């Protein structure tokens, strides 16, 4: 591990992120919600962790996770990269395997990997994509693959910036909650990107196992500052018997909203008892302070502009 001071400082998810290599994130100074340093480590640094983990893993699995004896977390995506997150979450050591694309490496580092550091720093993230509407954040919550990013792309096409894609950090403030920006990018399948953002949109594949692209966003379509959280929409399937082609929005009572937010906190790997109290506290406090609404619509890219318009109408005074 390098002992020299990291030359780059960024602000993402409210963290003060200090890195030994440049990242596609806004530069920033100050303490932030917590500080995390990123280092590049040699193979020898990971050798012992890999030997300990290999005794417990199925080698056919693509993703591997193990809590090591010293409390640190070892993460490995076979053939792509591996990471060690220190026990206190203040340091992430990284190593690329077989030279994956830089954008793919950064996407995993600034998403799944940082979620482990966030939890260790006492910050509970949500599995949510959020857009900026009239200087306020609107979050879309759903299971992976349901269409959070696709819906956000419909707002992008209308000129609404993306605050964060897939991982959302919020913090209670004097009047509600603040939502913190993630990296300025969005992940979309090519046909959805072309349909909603135009043919000239390009990106880098996330990994060799998917066609989904990592698409960088320009400054005018991303947000660099924390902003008030206006509402959260929980994406649910539309009724299929009989087929329902309408867009439906319904506000949940706080107790049901709390349960849904608990289901959609980010990172389902860490399940230890230490996480349960802050996880429940966030869900309960957030559900009582911010409207959480069920949003159902047909799963078709063609209907997304109509879904966007329904949300805008729902948010109108």
Helix (H/G/I), strand (E/B), else coil: 9: strand
The reported pLDDT for the residue numbered 1 is 41
In 3D space, the residue among 105, 102, 142, 108 whose CA is nearest the CA of residue 126 turns out to be 142
Phi/psi of residue 83, nearest 5 degrees: -145, 150
Regarding whether 173 and 34 lie in a shared domain, the answer is no
Regarding whether 135 and 284 lie in a shared domain, the answer is yes
**What letter would DSSP give residue 30?**
S
The reported pLDDT for the residue numbered 274 is 87
Regarding whether 265 and 184 lie in a shared domain, the answer is yes
Task: Give the structural domain span for 83.
Answer: 8-120
CA 129/CA 164 separation, integer angstroms: 6
CATH assignment at residue 166 = 3.40.50
CA 295/CA 141 separation, integer angstroms: 10
Q: How many helices (H) and strands (E) does the chain have?
A: 8, 18
The reported pLDDT for the residue numbered 85 is 97
pTM attached to this predicted model: 0.91
Regarding whether 215 and 181 lie in a shared domain, the answer is yes
Regarding whether 302 and 154 lie in a shared domain, the answer is yes
Going residue by residue through the chain, which has 317 residues, state the pLDDT in tens, using 9 for 90 and above: 445 677 899 999 999 999 988 998 888 777 789 999 999 888 888 888 888 777 776 666 778 898 988 999 999 988 889 999 999 999 999 998 876 677 788 889 999 999 999 999 999 999 999 999 999 999 999 987 889 999 999 999 899 999 999 999 999 998 899 999 999 999 999 999 999 988 777 888 887 778 888 999 988 889 889 999 999 999 987 655 556 678 999 999 999 999 999 999 999 999 888 899 999 999 999 999 999 999 999 888 999 999 999 999 999 98
Write the DSSP assignment of 155-203 as a string of letters.
HHTTTPPEEESSEEEEEEETTEEEEE---SEEEE-HHHHHHHH-TT---
Give the 3-state secondary structure of 228-274: EEEEEEEEEECCECCECCCCEEEECCHHHHHHHHHHCECCCCCCCHH
| Residue where a domain stops, chosen among 90, 120, 150 | 120
User: Would 89 be classed as within a structural domain?
Assistant: yes
Regarding whether 177 and 95 lie in a shared domain, the answer is no
Regarding whether 284 and 168 lie in a shared domain, the answer is yes
Tokens matching residue 255: 């107790």
CA 10/CA 90 separation, integer angstroms: 15
């Amino acid at each position: 591990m390098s002992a020299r001071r990291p030359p780059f400082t960024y602000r993402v998810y409210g963290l003060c992120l200090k890195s030994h290599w440049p990242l596609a994130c806004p530069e920033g100074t100050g303490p932030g919600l917590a500080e995390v340093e990123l280092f590049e480590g040699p193979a020898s640094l990971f050798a012992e962790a890999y030997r300990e983990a290999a005794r417990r893993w199925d080698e056919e699995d693509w993703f591997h996770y193990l809590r090591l004896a010293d409390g640190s977390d070892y993460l490995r995506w076979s053939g792509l990269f591996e990471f060690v997150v220190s026990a206190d979450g203040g340091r992430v050591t990284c190593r690329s395997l077989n030279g994956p694309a830089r954008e793919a490496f950064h996407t995993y580092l600034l998403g799944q990997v940082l979620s482990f550091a966030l939890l260790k720093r006492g910050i509970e993230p949500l599995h949510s994509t959020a857009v900026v509407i009239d200087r306020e954040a609107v979050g879309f919550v759903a299971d992976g693959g349901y269409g959070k990013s696709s819906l956000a792309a419909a707002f992008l096409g209308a000129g609404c910036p993306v605050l964060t894609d897939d991982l959302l950090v919020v913090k209670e403030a004097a009047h509600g909650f603040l939502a913190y920006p993630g990296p300025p990018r969005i992940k979309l399948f090519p046909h959805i990107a072309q349909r909603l953002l135009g043919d000239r949109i390009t990106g880098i594949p996330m990994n060799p196992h998917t066609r989904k692209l990592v698409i960088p966003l320009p400054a005018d379509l991303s947000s660099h500052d924390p902003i008030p959280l206006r509402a959260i929409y929980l994406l649910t399937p539309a009724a299929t018997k009989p087929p329902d082609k309408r867009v439906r929005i319904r506000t949940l009572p706080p107790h049901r909203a709390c349960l849904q937010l608990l289901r959609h906190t980010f990172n389902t790997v860490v399940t230890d008892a230490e996480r349960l109290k802050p996880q429940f506290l966030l869900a309960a406090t957030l559900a009582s302070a911010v409207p959480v609404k069920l949003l159902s619509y047909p799963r078709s890219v063609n209907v997304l502009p109509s879904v966007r318009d329904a949300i805008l109408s729902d948010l109108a005074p």
